[in-house]
Amino acid sequence: MPARRKPFKACRKCRALVDKNATECPHCGSRDLTEDWEGIIIVIDPENSEIAKILGFTKPGRYAIKVT
Protein backbone atom coordinates (compact mmCIF):
# COMPACT_ATOMS: atom_id res chain seq x y z
CA MET A 1 0.00 0.00 0.00
CA PRO A 2 1.44 3.40 -0.91
CA ALA A 3 1.62 5.92 1.90
CA ARG A 4 -1.34 8.23 1.87
CA ARG A 5 -0.43 11.77 1.11
CA LYS A 6 -1.75 14.49 3.33
CA PRO A 7 -4.67 16.49 1.93
CA PHE A 8 -3.22 19.74 3.27
CA LYS A 9 -0.02 21.69 3.34
CA ALA A 10 0.94 23.86 6.28
CA CYS A 11 2.16 27.43 6.14
CA ARG A 12 5.59 27.72 7.80
CA LYS A 13 4.87 31.29 8.81
CA CYS A 14 1.47 31.06 10.54
CA ARG A 15 0.93 27.26 10.56
CA ALA A 16 -2.45 27.47 8.80
CA LEU A 17 -3.39 24.36 6.86
CA VAL A 18 -4.17 25.07 3.23
CA ASP A 19 -5.30 22.91 0.32
CA LYS A 20 -2.35 20.93 -1.00
CA ASN A 21 -2.81 22.49 -4.43
CA ALA A 22 -2.65 26.02 -3.04
CA THR A 23 0.44 28.06 -3.84
CA GLU A 24 0.09 30.63 -1.09
CA CYS A 25 -1.36 30.88 2.37
CA PRO A 26 -4.79 32.59 2.44
CA HIS A 27 -4.14 33.76 5.99
CA CYS A 28 -0.80 35.53 5.71
CA GLY A 29 0.04 35.40 1.99
CA SER A 30 3.25 33.42 2.55
CA ARG A 31 4.34 31.03 -0.19
CA ASP A 32 6.42 29.01 2.24
CA LEU A 33 4.17 25.94 2.40
CA THR A 34 5.25 22.47 3.49
CA GLU A 35 3.87 18.95 3.72
CA ASP A 36 6.10 18.36 6.74
CA TRP A 37 3.64 18.98 9.55
CA GLU A 38 1.97 17.04 12.34
CA GLY A 39 -1.32 17.32 14.18
CA ILE A 40 -4.41 19.33 13.35
CA ILE A 41 -6.06 21.88 15.57
CA ILE A 42 -9.32 23.46 14.48
CA VAL A 43 -9.86 26.92 15.89
CA ILE A 44 -13.46 28.09 15.83
CA ASP A 45 -13.42 30.94 18.32
CA PRO A 46 -9.84 32.17 18.85
CA GLU A 47 -10.98 34.93 21.24
CA ASN A 48 -12.24 32.35 23.72
CA SER A 49 -9.84 29.48 23.06
CA GLU A 50 -6.97 29.12 25.51
CA ILE A 51 -5.21 26.73 23.14
CA ALA A 52 -5.46 29.21 20.27
CA LYS A 53 -3.99 31.92 22.51
CA ILE A 54 -1.14 29.71 23.68
CA LEU A 55 -0.31 28.65 20.13
CA GLY A 56 -0.78 32.17 18.79
CA PHE A 57 -3.66 31.57 16.38
CA THR A 58 -5.76 34.68 15.97
CA LYS A 59 -8.11 33.67 13.14
CA PRO A 60 -10.57 30.77 12.95
CA GLY A 61 -9.37 27.90 10.80
CA ARG A 62 -7.37 24.69 10.61
CA TYR A 63 -3.81 24.78 11.86
CA ALA A 64 -0.90 22.41 12.20
CA ILE A 65 0.31 21.83 15.75
CA LYS A 66 3.87 21.22 14.60
CA VAL A 67 5.57 22.33 11.38
CA THR A 68 9.05 21.06 10.70
Binding residues for Zn(2+): 11, 14, 25, 28
Shortest CB 13 distance to Zn ion, Å: 5
DSSP string, 8-51: EEEETTT-BEEETT-SS-TTT----EES-EEEEEEES-GGG-HH
State the Cα–Cα distance between residues 33 and 36, nearest whole angstrom: 9
Shortest CB 46 distance to Zn ion, Å: 15
Q: Which of residues 3-62 bind Zn ion (CB under 5 A)?
A: 11, 13-14, 16, 25, 27-28, 30
Q: Which chain residues interact with Zn ion by CB under 5 A?
A: 11, 13-14, 16, 25, 27-28, 30
